[in-house]
Structure formats: structure tokens, C-alpha cells
Amino acid sequence: MDQKDIYDTIIIGSGPAGYTAGIYTSRGNLKTLLLAGDVPGGQLMITTDVENYPGFKKGITGPDLMLQMREQAIRFNTEIIDASVTHVNFKKSPLEIIADGTTYYSKTCVIATGASAQWLGIESETRLMGKGISGCATCDGFFFKEKNIVVVGGGDSAMEESLFLTKFAKSIKILVRRDKLRASSIMQERAKNHPKISFLWNTKVKEFIGKERLEGVEIVNNKTGKEDTIIAQGAFIAIGHKPNTEIFKEHIELDERGYIKRILNTQTSAKGVFAAGDVHDHRYRQAITAAGYGCEAAIDAMKYLEEKNGD
């Protein structure tokens, strides 16, 4: 194999982690390929206003932020291909990564495939995404000051989202599809004791109402079949996140929830393979933390190559 056909690093996934990693490795004079996937930019491509990312005093839309990051990576000669990775082989040297039928070879790899919020899957949810419907209270809670909000879910995530939203919302109704919560006892107690929070049990969403923005939620009782409408200007879907790690499960070590385990700093269980962003981070899940992890993984990949070349 001709050495010129081997990349110093291949980054799998775009979004803040992937693009930041590309900026750092390319500026570090590494031959870098970024495989951006079918939806370059990740979760931020369905986010409207981003006001908590430093450097934008008036805020910026998610797509615009991702476009600026992409263009910055390209400026430093990151090669970007909008292709989805289907197979990897981390046991070979160089590493093999297959995307849309083409095999690429690299000395190192940064996995930045992120995690996807789980949604209800109804048409009106998709239509009103970012127009009153969100999957991240920390990201979007600020926009719902003195608004009536519903939160969908019954686990710790739903309780955490609801409690955070009490800082802004006028009222919060938690829609629980069963007659009890899955959340831990302490989280249940905190939510049940908060004066802004109330619960609707055995309840599921039938439809979200609104043309330009969310105006209400049609609900149905799972046991009685009774339907009702809640007036709400915000809805937060808190039924979990799924890390995008399916293609890696036979190649690197994952935890019980499917997130990548980081063995040392950003290093995974596979030699020369590093993880960055929501693909391992199930706690913070913010654009700024993902970018920070992308920086870490890029630096670790560079140090790995330096040490290997010094052998």
C-alpha cells in the first residue's frame, strides 16, 4: 500500500466534536479526513437558536454554527466527505474504515458520531421541532420564560429536565405513559414536591398542535381512552438518548448503555482509536463540551502518532 493513500487520522462524524477535532489535527499538520455522515452537523442541525455557545453575543442558529465550524476545518485543509461509515476494522494496521462502499486507511481514528435523542415519532413532532418542541432543557429552557410546558417521560432524565425548567416556566406538566415513574426515588421526590410541577399518569401524546409554533398538546389516557387538550407553548421530549455506536460494538468496548468506554483520557480499547463528544458523554451533552472533547481527542491522536514515530 502506498503511504500517500494512508491518512494520519480519520474522524468519523461531524458536529462540534468532529469539526473541532478536524481543526486541531489539520492545524497540527496531520493528513485528516472527516467522514461527515448523511446529515452533516449532527443534532445541532435541528436546533434553532443557540445562545450558550461562547463567542456569539447575539446567539447563532445551530445550522449556521455547524457551517462555520465546517468552513473553519476546511480552511486548515481538512478533507470532508459527506459519507456514512458502515464498517470498521480496528484490528488491522493501518485502520480500515469503509464509508459508502469505499475503504479508507488511517493511522488513527477519532469517533465523534454522537448520540441521538429518542423521539415519539409523530409527524407534528417533526414539523414543530425547534418551534416549541425540544429535547434539551439546558439548551432551550431560557426561551420558555413564564410559559406553560409539558415534559414527556418518566425516568431520571424527565425529572432532571423538569426541575431545570422550573427556573423559567410558569407551569410544567409531566406526561407519564404508566401509572408510576421509572426515576430514582430522590428525583421522584424532588419533582413531586415542586409547586410548579404536576403529573398526568397513563398519558401519551396523540398530537402536537400549532402551525408556526407549538400551541398545545392533544393527549389520550392509556386506560380510559379519554382524550384532552393541554394548552402549552413548550414541549420537552425526555425519553432518552441512544449513542450512535452500533457499527463499533464488535470492535471497541462499550458500556451497558452502548456508550463508548474511554480507557485513558480519550483513548478507547482499540489502539489508536479515540472518542469525542456525546458518543461517550451521557452526562453533559452540550455543544461546548462536545467541542472540548474533540480538542482532547485530536491532541491525544497527535501525541499517539508522535510517540509511535519516536519508537
Active site residues: 136, 139-140
Q: Cβ of 261: how many Cβ atoms within 10 Å?
A: 12
Among candidates 285, 273, 293, which has minimal Cα distance to 11? 273
Q: What is the dihedral of CA 46, 69, 96, 246, to 10 degrees?
A: -20
d(CA 307, CA 272): 11
CA distances from 86 to 177, 246, 267 (A): 35, 10, 22
Cell 389520550 belongs to 220
What backbone phi and psi angles, to 5 degrees, belong to 172? Answer: -135, 125
d(CA 268, CA 270): 5
The partner residues of 125 in beta bridges, in order of sequence, read none
Burial code (b: 16+ CB inside 10 Å, e: under 16) for 30-61 equals bbbbbbbbeebbbbbbbbeebeebeeeeeebb
Provide the grid cell at 60. Answer: 447563532
- Contacts of 206 by beta carbon, 8 Å cutoff, 6+ apart: 218, 219, 220, 227
